[in-house]
Amino acid sequence: MTLETQKETRGFESEVKQLLDLVINSLYSNREIFLRELISNASDAIGKLRFAALSDDSLYESESDMLITLDYSNEHNTITVCDNGIGLSRDEAVENLGTIARSGTKEFFGSLTGDQRKDSELIGQFGVGFYAAFIVADRVVVTSRKAGLAKTEGVRWESIGDGEFSIETVERAKRGTEVILHLKDDAKEFANGFQLRELCKRYSDHISIPIQMPKEGEDEEGVETINAATALWLRNKSDISDEEYQEFYKGLSYDFTEPMSWVHSHVEGKHEYTSLFYIPGAAPFDLWDNERNRGIKLYVQRIFIMEESEQILPRYLRFVRGVIDTNDLPLNVSRELLQRNKVIDAIRAGSIKKVLGAIERIAKSDDYAKFWSEFGRVLKEGVIEDFDNRDRVAKLLRFSSTRDSLPDADVSLEEYISRKKEDQENIYFIVADGFGAAKNSPHLEAFRKADIEVLLLHEPVDEWLVSHLTEFEGMALKSAAHGDLQELGSEQEEQTNDAEDDKLVERIKNALENMVADVRVSRRLTDSPACLVSGDNQMSANLERILKATGQEVPDSKRTLEVNREHPMLQCMDHFQDEDEFATWASLLFEQSVLAEGGRLEDPAGFVKRMNDALLKMASG
Ligand code: ADP
């Protein structure tokens, strides 16, 4: 026996051990999913063989009928899942059944909470795959031979799920893989023909490969096919029940929760394709993982080609799960080819419309609040990313607003417009770092007084959102913290007229020479003494903070201090003779304006000292 064929024992990668512990401990109440996972692997392996055989016919080895067989033994307490797919070489068995190659593994472990119920939901989303075998088995034996290899190059992999596996080269005439589960004592009930048929029907009916089992009954012989063996998406919509759609979703997405909605269509005409898209009930744990690029399975002529999403749906719809099946692409289509392909462009455009249509339907229902809280932040990216559908996406946006004291985002732009003031020309918004900072911003005082609604934007993506969404249905979107608000009523108009020769304003300007671009009397303020305002084309203070926080260089740009001439603090300042004292108060005015909008002071200790000096002086005076 050469070294190569020797039996050797190997340790699992530490992440596999961690996953195995989790699988065994937290999936107890969903134990039956082991069968779905193994059948799905078998079906994938058959898909891979078909795909490889497109360029090398000999891989079929004169057995081109694709089959999955399922069997069990009461006597030995075993279940066997067998396929005649691509199979595994010795190296592949070591590699694929001893490590977790999937992207997002690190994020997955990082997102675990230690709470068994929550973690079992996460693990469901992650997809336990092959390791699900250990939920019900205390010994798993995999025997396989890769299509195209000699029959002496079979492999046997075996493990009791304790952190190690053994691997050995064996002879195997048949290509493909056989997985034997030696059932745990408390899982013996699964070695039962009735139950296995039931589970296959429930979880694997849509697998397009026939699953065969020996016939049951005293004098029955031979095998029978126990699933429908047609891909679910190719069936007629009217023949598919909601339960079937839901089960299919769970198998597709590894999500235990029900999908919120789905849209299934057979498109005919210039291009023919079938699509089935699901909107999940909850955001997947890796929604913010930039590497993640899965979610949509692409089939060409029923053959699984790749799991992709970016080529088929834009990134802002990355939470969608589903299937596309078309005859219009070549079978050997690659990722690179997809990037510049007219057919995929047409499928993509059509798919976006279908998904947006599905979201629009949810928007009319009570589920939209839930949808928005799960996916709203991602959908906002659509305004930035998808120029063609910008208006459609904009209609789906929801915001918090000054109409409401809670941060619930439930105001649409259409609703805002429907109740705007008659002569109001702009849609007003404010962007701040957090709901509280937005809601209490001094910039909104005059809007409150004039009873003009302002949208409160308080998520990091909002800065980019408003820089792309400058108009909606003929109305401009305008920041309440930018520019001189000429349009805000005539009441304050007179004050501005005096502003030019207002001595107080001049004095403040001199005192703050290096800190502000200008000082002017405000039309915005009713209660606060002062606030800082950016120019119409200037970056907002919030965006500056976000950019600085991400380590980007931001050019220094001074803003305008607006003062509330009516405020007692300013009236007090008017009477100061001592220029030093005046300068201290002017600094305080500037610094409290920075603080009130959630900003950071350049010299916080200096501010505290100035404030204390002023307080003590007043106390002693
Ligand atoms: P996933 O299927 O999500 O990649 P699994 O843990 O289910 O993860 O399987 C790991 C790998 O093991 C698969 O990617 C595949 O390469 C291999 N594998 C599992 N089952 C089979 C099978 N029946 N035939 C061939 N290869 C298989």
pTM: 0.76
Q: Which residue has a Cα nearest atom 15 of ligand 1? A: 96
Which residue type sits at 24? I
Distance of CA 392 to the CA centre of its chain: 20
Q: Is 446's C-beta closer than 6 angstroms to any atom of ligand 1?
A: no
CA of 40 to the centre of ligand 1 (A): 9
Which residue type sits at 86? I
CA distance 232 to 206: 5
Q: Is 121's C-beta closer than 6 angstroms to any atom of ligand 1?
A: no
Q: Which residue has a Cα nearest atom 7 of ligand 1? A: 129
CA of 96 to the centre of ligand 1 (A): 6
User: Token pair 């230690």 is at which residue?
Assistant: 114
Alpha-helical segments (H) within 208-259: 242-253
CA of 220 to the centre of ligand 1 (A): 34
Q: Is 93's C-beta closer than 6 angstroms to any atom of ligand 1?
A: no
CA of 331 to the centre of ligand 1 (A): 22
Given a cut of 70, the residues of the chain with pLDDT beneath it are 1-5, 103, 124-125, 127, 290-293, 486-501
CA of 101 to the centre of ligand 1 (A): 10
CA of 44 to the centre of ligand 1 (A): 8
User: What's the DSSP call for residue 128?
Assistant: -
CA distance 244 to 241: 5
Predicted pLDDT of residue 369? 95
CA distance 172 to 156: 10
Q: Is 142's C-beta closer than 6 angstroms to any atom of ligand 1?
A: no
CA of 462 to the centre of ligand 1 (A): 41
Q: Which residue has a Cα nearest atom 18 of ligand 1? A: 41
CA of 143 to the centre of ligand 1 (A): 13
**Model confidence over 109-143: pLDDT tens digits?**
777 777 777 777 777 667 678 988 999 999 999 99
CA distance 44 to 27: 23
Tokens of 15: 């992440």
CA distance 202 to 32: 10
How many CB atoms are located within 10 Å of the residue 548 CB? 12
How many CB atoms are located within 10 Å of the residue 150 CB? 10
Closest ligand 1 atom to the C-alpha of 127?
Answer: 3
How many CB atoms are located within 10 Å of the residue 81 CB? 25
CA distance 616 to 595: 22
Burial class (CB in 10 A: 0-12, 13-18, 19+), 487: middle
Q: Which residue has a Cα nearest atom 12 of ligand 1? A: 96
What is the C-alpha end-to-end distance of the chain, expressed in Å?
Answer: 101
CA of 335 to the centre of ligand 1 (A): 21
CA of 87 to the centre of ligand 1 (A): 10
CA dihedral 605, 607, 609, 615 (to 10 degrees): -150
CA of 130 to the centre of ligand 1 (A): 6
Q: Is 96's C-beta closer than 6 angstroms to any atom of ligand 1?
A: yes
Closest ligand 1 atom to the C-alpha of 97?
Answer: 12
CA distances from 304 to 46, 185, 307, 310 (A): 10, 37, 8, 17
Show Cβ contacts of residue 86 under 8 Å, excluding neighbours closer than 6 positions. 45, 46, 48, 49, 52, 146, 147, 175, 176
Q: Is 88's C-beta closer than 6 angstroms to any atom of ligand 1?
A: yes
Predicted pLDDT of residue 114? 74
Q: What angle do CA 270, 275, 278 make, to 5 degrees?
A: 150
Residue from 96, 100, 141, 307 whose mutation best tests the ligand 1 pocket (most atoms within 8 A of CB) = 96
Predicted pLDDT of residue 220? 80
Residue from 16, 20, 100, 130 whose mutation best tests the ligand 1 pocket (most atoms within 8 A of CB) = 130
User: What's the DSSP call for residue 259?
Assistant: P
Beta strand 559-563 with 530-533 is antiparallel
**Model confidence over 294-334: pLDDT tens digits?**
789 998 877 778 887 778 899 999 999 999 999 898 877 77
Q: Is 23's C-beta closer than 6 angstroms to any atom of ligand 1?
A: no
Q: Which residue has a Cα nearest atom 1 of ligand 1? A: 129
CA of 307 to the centre of ligand 1 (A): 15
Predicted pLDDT of residue 500? 46
User: What's the DSSP call for residue 192?
Assistant: -
454-457 sheet: strands from edge to edge: 400-401, 454-457, 426-431, 475-479, 471-472
Q: Which residues pair with 90 in a beta bridge?
A: none
CA of 550 to the centre of ligand 1 (A): 39
Query: Which regions of 272-421 does DSSP assign to beta strands (E)?
Result: 273-279, 296-300, 303-308, 321-326, 400-401
Predicted pLDDT of residue 490? 47
CA of 69 to the centre of ligand 1 (A): 17
Q: Which residue has a Cα nearest atom 11 of ligand 1? A: 96
Q: Is 130's C-beta closer than 6 angstroms to any atom of ligand 1?
A: yes
Output b/e per residue, 422-436; b: 16+ Cβ within 10 A. eebebbbbbbbbebe
Closest ligand 1 atom to the C-alpha of 179?
Answer: 23
Burial class (CB in 10 A: 0-12, 13-18, 19+), 372: buried
| DSSP result, 34-86 | HHHHHHHHHHHHHHHHHHHHTT-GGGGTT-----EEEEEETTTTEEEEEE-SS
Predicted pLDDT of residue 124? 64
Closest ligand 1 atom to the C-alpha of 83?
Answer: 23
CA distance 608 to 605: 5
Q: Is 177's C-beta closer than 6 angstroms to any atom of ligand 1?
A: yes
Nearest to 455 by CA among 443, 373, 486: 443
CA of 157 to the centre of ligand 1 (A): 13
Q: Which residue has a Cα nearest atom 19 of ligand 1? A: 41
User: What's the DSSP call for residue 312?
Assistant: T
- 137 phi/psi in degrees, rounded to 5: -115, 145
| DSSP result, 7-45 | -EEEEPPHHHHHHHHHHHHH-GGGTTHHHHHHHHHHHHH
Tokens of 39: 């059948």
CA of 245 to the centre of ligand 1 (A): 24
Q: Which residue has a Cα nearest atom 23 of ligand 1? A: 42
Residue from 44, 134, 174 whose mutation best tests the ligand 1 pocket (most atoms within 8 A of CB) = 44
Nearest to 449 by CA among 524, 528, 533: 524
Q: Is 85's C-beta closer than 6 angstroms to any atom of ligand 1?
A: yes
CA distance 602 to 544: 14
Show Cβ contacts of residue 65 under 8 Å, excluding neighbours closer than 6 positions. none
Q: Which residue has a Cα nearest atom 25 of ligand 1? A: 87
